[in-house]
Amino acid sequence: MYNAVVIGGGPAGYVAAIRLSQLGKKVALVEKENLGGTCTNQGCIPTKAMLTAAHLYSEMNEKGKKFGISAENISYDISGVMKHTNKSVTMSRKGIEFLMKKNKIDVYKGTGILEDKNHVKVNDEILETEFILLANGSEPVMFKPFSEVPGIWTSNDVFKMNEIPESVLIIGGGVIGVEFSTFFASMGKKVYLVELSDHILPSEDPDTADEIKKSLKRKGVEIFEKFRVSDVKPSDNGFISFIESEDDKKAIESAKVLLAVGRKPVISEDMKKIGLNIEKGIVTDDTLKTNIENIYAIGDIKAKVMLAHVASSEGITAAHNIAGENRKMDYSAVPSVIFSSPEVASTGIREFQTVPENVIVSKFPVSANGRARTMEEKDGFVKVICDKTTKKILGISIVSPNATDMIMEGVIAVRNGLTLDNLLDSIHPHPTFTESILGALEGIEGMTIHL
């Protein structure tokens, strides 16, 4: 008899299992493939490993001479890139396996099937439990006509490649599409990026998207906004994609086509059979409890905020609630991070979500930052959104090298209701990119020093 059975070993499930064990509970974790889930095996970790290699290759080609560094015939070996990627995945996975043993969590390899609210079937074994945590995760979206054309990639397929295609058309200009566009273009390949919305990165402000668009175009990426892909057909050289907007049509040939329009929760028949409330994903309250009292759902299966760090936070919250506490999820300061070049990071509200007369918006350009000059970086900015009356920080958006690390200052500020003075009175180290945040903060009251 277990106190809790967790189904899914991704960043929601394994984190929840560890915290439950730390809280004195007897825990089983069920995983049908590899521990770490999508993030470790087919998402965050391998993507960032590949982007690290691409960034180094691009930096050496673009900046070497500027820094007085000479290197002849710079090249890359895709097998070496993938070896580094696979090593990063394996080390992360083994780390999780170690944590399972350290925390005395029973790991079952197989598909967890809900028999009822207290029993989970794994292979031929029935696990009895007080609570169930559903952390089954998500999978790449695939639909017609793309599902009927052999050879079209999803994000999962990129990590299996043994050579980089000379050209790739990417459908979807969100986070996944932009990151893979950055990778392929940085490796010198031709990229076509097609986005149905008004601009790429549609969840971000237009000025943020414009900065990344400018960077991608310099790398040779052709970007088609307000275009949809109506059809894809195989050709002698790969594929021909037919794209169209309200007033234009084009046919584009590429060696590969990558469908990167998002992910969908993994919902199985057993979940429906026992009566879970399912809409787009499994519905929970803000304690992560479903409509069945002893069953919780965390991570991508909820189809709410499909990010690894949110999944882990939900796992921790659910674990404490199972242990008898009363915790609620707070999504007010979720950091969104994109490993483009430059990086993008945002938290709190975006400018397009504001009522302009109620806020003050201030921007500070990366080009005016001292550390940026030492690195030959000019693109990007920090934008701070401040409540006009209370001077509380409502949102921060960053387009800059190291943006994905810098955003934590914004997360703490938004999450804790910090004011302009709270941050202005905090000394920022010099010379660092975080001084760009300080510059944007100073601009709220029109007192920027370095601009």
Q: What is the pLDDT of residue 257?
A: 97
pLDDT, tens digit (0-9, with 9 covering 90-100), for 260-270: 998 999 999 99
Q: What is the pLDDT of residue 73?
A: 85
Mean pLDDT of the chain: 96
Question: Other CB atoms closer than 10 Å to residue 193's CB: what's the count?
Answer: 28
pLDDT, tens digit (0-9, with 9 covering 90-100), for 112-137: 999 999 999 999 999 999 999 999 99
Quick one: what percent of the chain has pLDDT higher than 70? 100
Q: How confident is the model at residue 143 (pLDDT cuts 50, 70, 90)?
A: confident
- What are φ and ψ of residue 278, in 5° steps? -125, 125
Q: How confident is the model at residue 376 (pLDDT cuts 50, 70, 90)?
A: very high
Cβ(186)–Cβ(57) under 8 Å?
yes
Q: What is the pLDDT of residue 10?
A: 96
Q: What is the pLDDT of residue 320?
A: 98
Domain 2-139+264-322 and domain 146-261, same fold? Reply is: yes
- 383 vs 397: CA distance, rounded Å: 5
The burial class, CB within 10 Å (0-12 / 13-18 / 19+), for 160 is exposed
For the residues 406-433, what does the mean pLDDT come to?
97
For the residues 22-29, what does the mean pLDDT come to?
98
For the residues 414-420, what does the mean pLDDT come to?
97
Q: What is the pLDDT of residue 13?
A: 97
- Predicted confidence (pLDDT) at residue 227 exceeds the cutoff of 90: yes
- Predicted confidence (pLDDT) at residue 65 exceeds the cutoff of 90: no
Q: What is the pLDDT of residue 435?
A: 97
Q: What is the pLDDT of residue 347?
A: 98
Q: Point out the residues that are catalytic.
A: 430
Name residue 347's beta-bridge partners: 396
pLDDT, tens digit (0-9, with 9 covering 90-100), for 353-371: 999 999 999 999 999 999 9
Alpha carbon separation from 270 to 117, 139, 276, 304, 408 (Å, rounded): 11, 18, 9, 21, 39
For the residues 86-113, what does the mean pLDDT come to?
97
Question: Other CB atoms closer than 10 Å to residue 326's CB: what's the count?
Answer: 7
Q: How confident is the model at residue 71 (pLDDT cuts 50, 70, 90)?
A: confident
Poorest-pLDDT segment among 56-70, 113-127, 180-194? 56-70
pLDDT, tens digit (0-9, with 9 covering 90-100), for 240-293: 999 999 999 999 999 999 999 989 999 999 999 999 999 999 999 999 999 999
What is the residue extent of each domain of the chain? 2-139+264-322, 146-261, 336-443
The count of residues in the chain is 451
Cβ(370)–Cβ(438) under 8 Å?
no
Question: 2-139+264-322 architecture in CATH?
Answer: 3-Layer(bba) Sandwich (3.50)
Question: 146-261 architecture in CATH?
Answer: 3-Layer(bba) Sandwich (3.50)
- Predicted confidence (pLDDT) at residue 5 exceeds the cutoff of 90: yes
Tell me which residue has tokens 């479903």: 290
What topology does CATH give the domain 336-443? Enolase-like; domain 1 (3.30.390)
- Predicted confidence (pLDDT) at residue 70 exceeds the cutoff of 90: no
Q: What is the pLDDT of residue 361?
A: 98
Quick one: what percent of the chain has pLDDT higher than 90? 95
